[in-house]
């Protein structure tokens, strides 16, 4: 375990526009079988993970409080991200929801707070107006120090362009699905041009990477697992990457990606796989203006 800890203790960080440093590798959680108390404690205590991603929607914020307490890791050593759910969009409800997430997590502040989806639901107010009102509350939470950084999730260029019209603080982060079968490069390039750090969720494409012939051949070449190949590929592209697992051995495997590099030809090979598969089903009206 000591060798694993040493490698991850040297986990690179990515600088946000406000100067904060985010570990480029984190541990994701999910409401769809994506939370395990033992796996989180193991990730923190044995693997050296210091970046945890969660959301109100996942229903595990209170569970994370217990896991963090059991791990013995000090709060200031952690980067904790949570997300605002669509039912809480709006000025006052956003501020209340953030404080409630802090309470469930047992913390005084969040390192990063994200608007979970671009579109809220209102029969009388446009999505752009809801986003603007919600973002105003996010900016105040940032100014008050309740959130050290603020951002968005699943936003397209059109949503970010609209938000520019209404905001005084550009989102620090945009978290979007990112894996070899879903690479929104135009969105990545746009975010980089605006000083928005791109963060990728679902890096293993819900398991689809395990059987792809290109990825499995690279795994044989490097004597690694398909998961390690894809996580390493994402990190080499400069993407903050947050795989999730409920199994301790998989958590460990996902962390062992800092002692090898993909050759540029192999990085390019993955960069040019046909991007045809989106794994997150769009069950919310997030792509409407």
Task: For 115-173, give the DSSP string.
Answer: ESSS----SSS-HHHHHHHHHHHHHHHHHTTSBS-EEEES--HHHHHHHHHH-SS--SE
HSE on the CB side for 126, CA within 13 Å? 8
Catalytic residues: 58
Collapsed DSSP state (helix, strand, coil) of residue 267: helix
Which parts are annotated binding residues for substrate? 116
| pTM of the predicted structure, to 2 decimals | 0.92
How confident is the model over 188-236, as pLDDT tens digits?
999 999 999 999 999 999 999 999 999 999 999 999 999 999 999 999 9
All domains of the chain, ordered by start, with CATH? 2-271 (3.20.20.100)
pLDDT of residue 280: 54
Q: Are 204 and 165 spatial neighbours (Cβ–Cβ below 8 Å)?
A: no
| 138 vs 124, higher pLDDT | 138
Mean pLDDT score, 152-171? 96
d(CA 63, CA 41): 11
């Amino acid at each position: 375990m000591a060798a694993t800890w040493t490698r991850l203790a040297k986990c690179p960080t990515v600088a946000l526009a406000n100067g904060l440093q985010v570990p480029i590798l984190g541990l994701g959680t999910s409401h769809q079988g994506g939370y395990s108390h033992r796996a989180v404690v193991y990730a923190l205590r044995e693997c050296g993970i210091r970046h945890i991603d969660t959301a109100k929607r996942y229903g595990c914020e209170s569970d994370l409080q217990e896991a963090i307490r059991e791990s013995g890791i000090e709060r200031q050593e952690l980067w904790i991200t949570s997300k605002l759910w669509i039912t809480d969009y709006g000025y006052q409800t956003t501020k209340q929801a953030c404080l409630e997430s802090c309470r469930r997590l047992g913390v005084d502040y969040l390192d990063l707070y994200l608007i979970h989806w671009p579109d809220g639901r209102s029969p009388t107010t446009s999505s752009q107006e809801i986003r603007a009102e919600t973002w105003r509350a996010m900016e105040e939470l940032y100014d008050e120090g309740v959130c050290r950084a603020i951002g968005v999730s699943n936003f397209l260029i059109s949503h970010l362009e609209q938000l520019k019209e209404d905001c005084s603080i550009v989102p620090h982060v945009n978290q979007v699905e990112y894996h070899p079968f879903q690479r929104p490069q135009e969105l990545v390039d746009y975010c980089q041009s605006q000083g928005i750090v791109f963060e990728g969720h679902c890096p293993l494409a819900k398991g689809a990477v395990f059987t792809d012939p290109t990825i499995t051949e690279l795994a044989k070449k490097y004597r690694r697992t398909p998961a390690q190949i894809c996580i390493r590929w994402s990190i080499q592209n400069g993407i903050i990457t947050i795989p999730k697992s409920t199994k301790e051995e998989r958590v460990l495997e996902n962390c062992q990606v800092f002692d090898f590099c993909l050759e540029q030809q192999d990085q390019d090979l993955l960069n040019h796989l046909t991007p045809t598969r989106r794994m997150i089903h769009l069950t919310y009206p997030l792509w409407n203006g």
